[in-house]
Amino acid sequence: MGPVAFMWPPDRPWADSHDNIRPCGSAAGVGERTVFPLTQGSVALSIADEAMHVAFRIAYGNNPTTQNAFADQVVNNITDIDPGHSCYKLNQLEGITAGTNATIQLEYWAEYEGENNGEHQSFFACSDITFVEAKDFHLQVPCFNVTSDDFNAPIPTPKAGYKDSNASTPPDSSDSSSGGLSGGAKAGIAIGAVVAGLLVIVGVALFLYRKGKLAGIRRRQAYEIRAQKLNAMQQGPSTASVQQV
């Protein structure tokens, strides 16, 4: 993958020799299309390095091949993004019906080690979709927002004078019939586990990117495996989706 890639919907195969070529930054043509809801649709990004001037555009049809075809901007202007993961809701689409084929284009500005004398340059990626009615869309989109700064969040420490009541006090036998942890505690643990897993996935993506450009293909394969695992994790009932408009 390049500095930024689609996590959802999946994008066309990446190659460093084409990622600066508009409109789609890939040598591959249209592949397998992903179903996409007519309303409340979102796009999710895996971000390995800082980027700016991020734009999402859409072209309708079976195989758009020119930049002029991507005339409609479907997400409001994004000035810059930090390493991590971001999700964006598409603007309301007008006059589109179920069954329409389209391609979503991602364009952004970023640096890439060993290229363009270290100067910023434009990158492109495309995802091919087919619109469906919202009632017929049943996929779980990995829509959440987290940055690499969250990896360095401080661990809370007890306040002065804090006493752990459980350290010296035996369990109250009257609570034994409650079945252990409360429902709220169990839900909190489950959500924490899911969030921790997602942070690990994004952290691995950042590490692999910084290993160097020559490992690009292997990183792409690993990214696809992580995305599949993420979709499986998102099927759990405790997953909370966070959308950034």
Enclosing domain of residue 29: 4-147+190-233
Is position 60 within any domain?
A: yes
Measure the CA–CA gap between 67 and 159, rounded to whole angstroms. 58
Report pLDDT for 185. 46
Does 168 fall in a domain? no
The dihedrals phi and psi of 54, each to the nearest 5 degrees, come to -85, 130
**Residue 134 has what pLDDT?**
95
The DSSP symbol for 74 reads: -
Domain membership of residue 177 (yes or no) is no
Q: How far apart are CA 73 and CA 224, in angstroms?
A: 26
- Mean pLDDT, consecutive 10-residue stretches, the chain (245 aa), reads 93 92 95 96 96 97 96 94 96 95 97 79 97 96 88 56 52 48 46 57 56 48 54 49 43
- The pLDDT, as a whole number, for residue 174 is 47
Residue 179, in any domain of the structure: no
Residues 77 and 101: their CA atoms lie apart, in Å, by 24
Domain-embedded: residue 69:
yes
Give DSSP secondary structure letters for 13-43. Answer: PP-TTTTTSTTTS-S----S-EEEESSS-EE
Written as one string, the DSSP assignment of 143-211 is: ---EEGGGGGPPPP-PPTT---HHHHSPPPGGGGGGTSS-HHHHHHHHHHHHHHHHHHHHHHHHHHHHT
Specify the pLDDT at position 242.
Answer: 38
Per the structure, the count of domains in the chain is 1
pLDDT at 148: 80
Inside any domain, residue 76: yes
What pLDDT is attached to residue 119? 87
pLDDT of res. 176: 43
Q: pTM for this one?
A: 0.64
In a domain, 185, yes or no: no
Instruction: Name the token pair of 102.
Output: 């389209």
